[in-house]
Copies of this chain bind each other. A is one copy, B any other.
Amino acid sequence: MVKSNTLDPFSLHKEDVDTFISNSDNYIIRKGGDMKGFFQESADPDKLIYEVYEIRGPHSTDMGLTIMKPGKVGKEFHMTKGHFHESKSADEYYFCLSGKGMIIMQSEDDEIRHMPLNEGGGVYVPSGWAHRTINVGDEDFILLAIFPKDAGHDYGAIEDKGFRSIVMEVDGQPQVIDNPSF
């Protein structure tokens, strides 16, 4: 599918995840040890939290496929590190191909939004909003991201500041806690 300087049409249904992976040209893995300071409690350094497979084509946009394992670190559900884009015009789309999740977005002015991200649906993230996805279900949360080629990923700014909300299990259910005191 990925040829030098070209890219053929391809399908992006739930059944196509293995094909996407086999054609990806970049791979990121995040285990507990890669996410020190992101959760309230320390994660087992060898525990797989999520993987990202990217297809970087020759055209205007790139794609990332995130597969996030179900589970928690302490009472917090598995989540991505979260990032801003370096480009001030770079927006992003997330579509959930499988599983049950959420997205938390935080603007440069610290405004915060959270939305469900469920199988068959998506969310639009304008530029200027840091975003983090969270698996609140019992299965792999499989997420397709679409972003402009020049987006750039800035993990540092939001890592330093932190998101103002976290997603914890409370009475067996996922709950968004704003301004947690820790």
Contacts and interface: CB of A to CB of B under 8 A. Distances in A.
Interface string A82-107: 00000101110101010000000100
A130 to B, nearest CB: 11
A12 B125 CA distance: 11
B127 A60 contact: yes
Q: How many copies does the complex hold?
A: 2
B121 A119 contact: no
Contact of A9 (B14, B59, B113): B113
Given A95-B95, A146-B93, A146-B146, A12 B60 contact: no
A9 B123 contact: yes
Given A59-B91, A105-B9, A119 B122 contact: no
Interface string A1-44: 00000111111111010000000000000000000000000000
Interface size class of A (residues with CB under 8 A): 35 or more
Contacts of A124: 7, 9-12, 63
A14 B120 CA distance: 8
Given A10-B123, A11-B123, 9 more contacts: A7-B124, A11-B115, A11-B116, A11-B124, A12-B123, A13-B118, A60-B89, A93-B93, A97-B120
The 5 closest A-B pairs by CB, nearest first: A13-B121, A120-B120, A12-B122, A59-B91, A60-B148
